[in-house]
Amino acid sequence: MNAIVDPRSTRQLRAERLEGDAALREAQALRYRVFSTEFDAKLQGAEHGLDMDDFDVHCRHIGVRDLASGELVATTRLLDHLTARRLGRFYSEGEFALHGLADIDEPVLEIGRTCVTPAYRTGATIAVLWSELAEVLNEGRYRYLMGCASIPMRDGGIQARAIMQRLRDSHLCTELLHAEPRTPLPELDLPDNVTAQLPPLLKAYMRLGAKICGEPCWDPDFQVADVFILLKREELCPRYARHFKAAV
Amino acid sequence: MTRVRLHWRLLRLSVVILLGLLVAAALGLGERFAPRASLQRRQGLTRWFMVRLAAALPYRVRIIGELPPQPMLWVANHVSWCDIPLLGMLQPLSFLAKAEVASWPVLGWLARQAGTLFIRRGAGDAAQINQQLANHLHQGRHLLIFPEGTSTDGSSVRTFHPRLFACAIEAGCAVQPVAIRYLRDGKPDTVAPFVGDDELSAHLRRLLASDMAEVEIHLLPPIPVATLSRKAIAERAQLAVERALSCQSQEAARDAA
């Protein structure tokens, strides 16, 4: 368990593993609230106020709780390579053809459906969540962490395209894994001298030393572009990796 | 080297403008045979042109914030003619220009073909202009105005004229404040501003002869018109733009680190 005091609000936040049905419901309810209000997304389980899918019961779920209110404020879910093999695929493979995945014979952990309540979108919340993630990585001796980060597409894709122009130069690496999107972004005309700000989660991954493994996949239901990211444990950027203390 | 670069950039820009003229001419010709080209088509072609024009300018552009998903009244501070392609490439937009622009050679004609709306300074047709702008927004098209009414050197923001905000209330659509800032080596760019009596061709040569510089386009949180008066909206938009321009470029500094 990791606890931290958010200096901005003296909030007491604590990471925890969400185990058991009740905790899973709590995570699904949080995801529903965040995804349905922000993305206006069509969600499976919406009639119960939950965001659920077939992967949920096979994943490990971790979260961050505000100790004062007892409210769950952030969550993410983790799928490991052994489970993925049993299920036949990783979750991301629904959006990407992952060329080179079969040749990786070291432990891989996939992260997905990360969300944070708007009022808690601070570095502190992410740090607490990631310290717990670090422990999971460490315990399972995972060498790679992979997953997706989203860029909003409600603007028709300008931000996504502008961000990709920057990331392609600085963070693209397809040597180990090449993620080919099943639905590429729609065509859009934009000068190549334009860049845009990275959304917080994507920026956090890049600062940790993650690479992107190809072009984004268009998710029209969520109106986002999903970028596939891969983080190698030995390439964790030391300046930001203190959040991953146990894993380094 | 600088001369070669200047001429190369001038050539590129000329080709883009020539292309623009051809497209506009085709649009004009098409109109004689077909019903009036829709505003949507004009805006789409204008954006196509603006993308190429913006790419031919010696600037690296950083977009900060999110583009509005619905049509809005965009209000921006005004520094240079470069503002027009740099903002016009983002969305199919129409602009509001002073009436003189319509009679400028070449550019005036291009502006008219692009679906630009024109306003006569000081003329007593405020209600009519307001209705025209509101109609435009009603059609679900983005509209951009420079509510300072003139360009500045970018170091300060002049009063946003409330009069021009009435159309947003009339059309019931939100206002999208935009702050545009030109930076050279982290300091305000002195080449970009096109103010007062500057002459276009001299300014163009000066701009195209300089090194690449940066432009930040801050898309600030939209202001819902709700029950606000046009004066209150104008003040709010102006304040938002001033704040964005006065805060140091922390984001840029952090990203560079």
* pLDDT band, residue A231 (cuts 50/70/90): very high
**Predicted TM-score of the model (pTM):** 0.81
Mean pLDDT of A47-59: 92
Contacts of A189 in chain B (CB under 8 A): 47-48, 51
Judged by a CB distance cut-off of 8 A, whether residue A195 touches chain B is: yes
Residue B78 near residue B98, CB atoms below 8 Å: no
Contacts of B67 in chain A (CB under 8 A): 154-156, 158-159
Mean pLDDT of B216-221: 95
| Ramachandran bin of A100, using left for φ above 0, alpha for ψ from -120 to 50, beta for the remaining angles | left
Q: Mean pLDDT: which of A233-242, B45-54, B195-204 is highest?
A: B45-54
- Residue A64 has what pLDDT? 96
Q: Write B223-229 long-range contacts (CB < 8 A, 24+).
A: B223/B174, B223/B175, B223/B176, B223/B177, B224/B174, B225/B168, B225/B169, B225/B172, B225/B173, B225/B174, B225/B175, B228/B169, B229/B162
Judged by a CB distance cut-off of 8 A, whether residue B92 touches chain A is: no
What are the boundaries of each domain within chain A?
A: 75-247
Can you name the CATH fold of A75-247? Aminopeptidase (3.40.630)
- Residue B140 has what pLDDT? 87
Query: Does residue B110 or residue B160 have the better pLDDT?
Result: B160
* Residues A197, B251: C-beta atoms closer than 8 Å: yes
Q: What is the mean pLDDT of chain A?
A: 88
Residue to mutate among B47, B49, B62, with most A CBs inside 10 A, is: B62
Owning domain of residue B60: 2-256
- Residue B89 has what pLDDT? 94
For chain A, positions 146-165, list CB contacts with chain B under 8 A: 152, 154-156, 158-159, 162
ipTM, interface predicted TM-score of the complex? 0.74
* Residues B51, A191: C-beta atoms closer than 8 Å: yes
Query: Does residue B41 or residue A86 have the better pLDDT?
Result: A86
Q: What is the pLDDT of residues A161-204, one digit of tens each?
A: 999 999 999 999 999 999 999 999 998 889 988 999 898 889 88
H-helix or E-strand containing A158? helix A158-170
Domain count, chain B: 1
Residue to mutate among A197, A198, A224, with most B CBs inside 10 A, is: A197
- Residue A50 has what pLDDT? 92
Residue A228 near residue A151, CB atoms below 8 Å: no
Residue A38's alpha-carbon distances to A51, A115, A122, A154, B70, in angstroms, are 13, 11, 17, 11, 15
Distance (Å) from the alpha carbon of A163 to chain B's nearest alpha carbon:
9
* Residues B66, A152: C-beta atoms closer than 8 Å: yes
Contacts of B55 in chain A (CB under 8 A): 191-193
- Residue B167 has what pLDDT? 93
- Residue B25 has what pLDDT? 82
